[in-house]
Structure 1
Amino acid sequence: MLYAQTPASEKRRLFRERLADGELLRFPGAFNPLSARLIERKGFDGVYISGAVIAADLGLPDIGLTTLTEVAGRARQIARMTDLPAIVDADTGFGEPMNVARTIQELEDAGLGGAHIEDQVNPKRCGHLDGKQVVDEDTALKRIRSAVQSRRDPNFVVIARTDVRGVDGLDAAVDRAKKLADAGADVIFPEAMATLAEFEAVRAAVDVPILANMTEFGKSELFTSEQLADVGVNIVIWPVSLLRMAMGAAGRALDTLNDEGALTARLDEMQHRADLYDLLDYPAYNAFDSSVFNFTIAR
């Protein structure tokens, strides 16, 4: 009932253990707390919280307009709804290295299992758009060192995202990935890799886990989980997929209302009321309610 029963520290510990096993962990992106619970129900390994999705939820583009308060607040709502570990997109850390330190501690307090900090110039752009700019190596490394040094729970996973591939090419991205790992990053997130061979190149260059972003309509081909596992990827995220599916379905429903005046023809596409109530665990609420409000008023 209400929220997950597993403490955030335990979720982080278990996440660390599974990362150490070397298996591929699958993290679909949750666009709200209820979708995080569905991700868990369907047997996935973790929940991803996309900065692009948080921005879109506010009707904003993914260009660094959201604040730390907005991201931490929404991430808390999502992370507490599931016993799975949740990792969140923390963009460029919301400022200079001291801001990165505060960002990490705020996200720890929000119950996250980890976060990624990127090396784009602030304000950032979506990682699969052209025209990105990255910061110099010293600034990028300071962001990651600050994140690592500021965490209070050593199991909080610091993920270093590099966007260098789309700016200076693969060799430069591999070089930066190695230096980010040396700076203390627990996981390397090479953004916008074009081929499996490029993921393999990063995998061969670093001794820490790597993360693959399988976002639709971007620079990367949509590789399967099996393909990514075969080249040594440790985490795969689908950051915006569920939001895209939900918004696509919502658009089709609105078209049907315009055309037909009712949604009778689309009932089989909807989550049934019974399934929603099951996901929300209505029986537990009813049992709790009955145990508390079990009195009668004398007349």
Structure 2
Amino acid sequence: MNSTTTSRRAAFRQHVAARQGLLLAGAFNAMSARIIEDLGFGAIYLTGAGVTNMSLGLPDLGFIGLSDMAEHAARVRDAVDLPLVVDADTGFGNALNVHHAVRTLERAGADAIQLEDQVMPKKCGHFAGKHVISTEEMVSKIRAATDAREDEHFQIIARTDAAAVHGIDDAIERGHRFVEAGADILFIEAMEGLSNVERLPALFEVPLLINIVIGGKTPVQSRDTLERFGYGLVLYANAALQGAVHGMQQALGRLQSKGQLDEDPTIVAPFGERQRLVKKPMYDQLEERYKAG
């Protein structure tokens, strides 16, 4: 493990612990991660839903596995320097699978992972028909995750979907058990009602992540408001995905209707901007440097 990785993880841990509502933007591939970094965000979340939607064209119903997320994590890590949180869904199995997943994703470049307490195959947190495993089974998974990490600054985010299944009180009780088991950050998914959003951070010793799903169940609040409530992380897991889908529909819709598409910056990113984002000038310099003769 190099010093850069260690210092990045330590700084990220401190930033989250400050409970200042750090915006965590979701990426679904290396290019989306580049854009997030270029725009000045402080951290990146590799979204399982985004990888499923954009790579497979399928809904978030548990169709991807550890190898998919590890491969995408390695690509994103090569592309950006920001702290990287990886969605590890249910840990892809039991506590032993979680142990293996943590080792795999840590080596792939993750700085934190998110584990959830849904029954496999999981569903998007804002879908109906979810089921959760027992508190005891999830506690075992969290313990396996904390045992498996090599770097003490590598963070475990424990997510519970129990609010939609058994009610908010059960989710809160599970949260306390997850923290006792060693979770560094708590994530109570699909909260409904502003009163719950406001009161939850004060109930726990560790920082909370809040997931804002555009069109989902949790009421949208500004980052400043969520910082005032005491959240450590404010996640927009699929804002980039939804923006990209809309952009493709706009550009290709114009192409289909008009039969041609010019370099209109209100519709498409200019050619030069695309090359800047993928660091083409840097590779031009390298090509010149290594040119034979």
- Contact residue 17 and residue 206 of structure 2 kept, 8 A: no
State the partner residue of 1:17.
14
2:201 and 2:231 mapped to 1: Cα distance?
Answer: 7
- Contact residue 19 and residue 233 of structure 2 kept, 8 A: no
| Alpha-carbon distance, 1:253 to partner | 2.0
1:169 and 1:114 mapped to 2: Cα distance?
Answer: 27
SS of the counterpart of 1:215?
coil
State the partner residue of 1:213.
211
1:9 and 1:80 mapped to 2: Cα distance?
Answer: 16
| Alpha-carbon distance, 1:79 to partner | 2.4
Matches of residues 119-268 of structure 1 in structure 2 within 5 Å? Answer: 119-264=117-262, 266-268=264-266
| Alpha-carbon distance, 1:10 to partner | 3.0
State the partner residue of 1:82.
80
Per the alignment, do residues 6 and 84 of structure 1 end up closer, same or farther by CA in structure 2, a change over 3 Å counting?
A: farther
Q: Deviation per CA, 1:205-235, whole angstroms, max 9, x where unpaired?
A: 2100100101111111221111111111110
| Alpha-carbon distance, 1:168 to partner | 1.1
State the partner residue of 1:45.
42
* Code of the aligned partner of 1:141: V
- Contact residue 177 and residue 202 of structure 1 kept, 8 A: no
The 10-residue stretch of structure 1 (9-18 or 138-147) with the greater mean CA deviation from structure 2: 9-18
Matches of residues 278-289 of structure 1 in structure 2 within 5 Å? Answer: 278-289=276-287
| Alpha-carbon distance, 1:6 to partner | 8.4
Matches of residues 261-276 of structure 1 in structure 2 within 5 Å? Answer: 261-264=259-262, 266-276=264-274
SS of the counterpart of 2:213?
coil
Q: Structure 2 unaligned runs (5+)?
A: none
| Alpha-carbon distance, 1:107 to partner | 0.5
| Alpha-carbon distance, 1:265 to partner | 8.3
**Which of the numbers 47, 52, 55 marks the counterpart of 1:55?**
52
1:121 and 1:95 mapped to 2: Cα distance?
Answer: 9
SS of the counterpart of 1:80?
helix
**RMSD over equivalenced CA pairs, Å:** 1.6
| Alpha-carbon distance, 1:34 to partner | 1.6
State the partner residue of 1:118.
116
State the partner residue of 1:33.
30
Matched positions, count: 291
- Higher Cα Rg: structure 1 or 2? 1
| Alpha-carbon distance, 1:62 to partner | 1.1
Q: TM-score, normalised by structure 1?
A: 0.93
